[in-house]
Each structure stands twice: as C-alpha cells, then as structure tokens.
C-alpha cells in the first residue's frame, strides 16, 4: 500500500473512532474532512467495477475495457438476452481458482441508474448517495452491500490473471464505513 492510501485509511479510521467517542467529533463536513471518498473511488473507478457498471447495454472485459466476449448484451432484466444469459458462464462459484470467468450468485449487470463510466469522483459520490441511483439504499445499506455482496466481492478475486483493485476489501469497507459515518461527504466537483 502506498503512503497516501495508508494515510487516508488511518484518517478514515480516526474519524470513525472519534464519531463514537463521547465528546469526540460530532460532525464532519466536506470542507473539514480529508477526502474520505478517495479510497472508495479508487476501487469503484477501477475496470474491475466499471466493466459491469456500464453506460450502455454491453458489459466490458479486462483492464482495457473491451466489449464483452461473445457479444453479450444486457437484455431487458440485466441478465443477458434469452439466448445468452449471464449465468450460463458466470456460475454461483468458480470452477477453479484460476478461472477467468468471475462467479457469484445472482450475477447480472448493474442497472443503468448505477452506471459509473466517465464520472468524476464527485459525480460518483453523488450517485452513491442518491437512493434513486444506488438501488434504493441508505448509507448503511450501501456499506453493507459493499461489505457482503458476493458479486461486489468478485472485484477482489484475481482469477485468470486479472489485476487487483487498489485496496484490499477490508480497507475498502473501512473507508466506506468512515465515509458514511462522516455524513458521506463528497469531494468538490
């Protein structure tokens, strides 16, 4: 982990701690907080996340965000077309640790309301805070989703030679908890 990420993780943990200590910090504003959203954005703007949070109907593959193999498209329900359903390849569990096909129960594309391609950190932060664009989730529900959802968790499974996201999942979740506890401040546009 680089020094900047370590500093941000430490600051995020300190905010969470102080929010829970009697007489500690009672609120954190976007102006007074360090950029608590930076470590979250570093993961969510990585190709491992962006490949499924697409603006259109074609999921992407790889670090170079190329069109999904076999010309797969979203379909009306986000699960692919009737002839090429996502679960035909993306099973509930990978067949091996070396598998190049990510696997998790309920695999599907993120809804179009959750498209993140091309968004700035500030815009991404706004999307995450908006229940109309985040799957109708409160901040607590959003953090729980980031921490426990198995499809989200595939971002940290590196089978098939995929590159890792910039933070381990535990650090990502700690950063998300600190951000949520601080009132989910967004960076300046």
Q: Over the range 87-116, which residues count as b (16 or more CB within 10 Å of their CB) and which as e?
A: eebbbeebeeeeeeebbbeebbbbeeeebb
Is residue 2 one of the residues assigned to a domain?
no
Write out pLDDT tens, residues 99-151: 677 778 888 888 999 999 999 999 999 999 999 999 999 999 999 999 999 98
Is residue 164 one of the residues assigned to a domain?
yes
DSSP, residue by residue, 108-169: -PPPGGG--TT--HHHHHHHHH-TTTTTS--HHHHHHHHHH-HHHHGGG--GGGPPPPSS-H
- Token pair 């951000």 is found at 179
Least confident of 20-34, 44-58, 88-102, 130-144: 20-34
Q: How many domains does the chain have?
A: 1
Is residue 149 one of the residues assigned to a domain?
yes
Is residue 30 one of the residues assigned to a domain?
no
Is residue 96 one of the residues assigned to a domain?
yes
- Structural domain span for residue 160: 36-181
The predicted pLDDT at position 96 comes to 63
Is residue 10 one of the residues assigned to a domain?
no
Is residue 3 one of the residues assigned to a domain?
no
**Average pLDDT rounded to a whole number, residues 72-92:** 84
Q: Is 50 exceeded by the pLDDT of residue 189?
A: yes
């Amino acid at each position: 982990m680089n020094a900047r990420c370590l500093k941000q993780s430490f600051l995020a943990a300190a905010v969470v701690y102080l929010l829970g200590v009697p007489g500690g910090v009672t609120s954190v504003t976007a102006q007074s907080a360090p950029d608590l959203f930076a470590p979250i954005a570093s993961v969510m703007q990585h190709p491992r996340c962006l490949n499924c949070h697409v603006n259109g109907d074609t999921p992407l593959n790889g670090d170079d965000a190329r069109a999904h193999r076999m010309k797969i498209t979203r379909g009306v329900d986000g699960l692919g077309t009737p002839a090429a359903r996502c679960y035909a390849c993306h099973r509930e569990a990978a067949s091996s640790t070396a598998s190049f096909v990510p696997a998790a129960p309920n695999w599907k594309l993120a809804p179009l309301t959750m498209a993140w391609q091309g968004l700035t950190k500030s815009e991404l932060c706004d999307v995450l805070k908006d229940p109309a664009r985040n799957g109708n989730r409160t901040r607590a529900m959003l953090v729980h989703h980031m921490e426990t959802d198995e499809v989200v968790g595939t971002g940290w499974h590196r089978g098939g030679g995929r590159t890792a996201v910039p933070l381990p999942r535990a650090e990502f979740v700690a950063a998300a908890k600190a951000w949520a506890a601080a009132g989910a401040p967004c960076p300046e546009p």
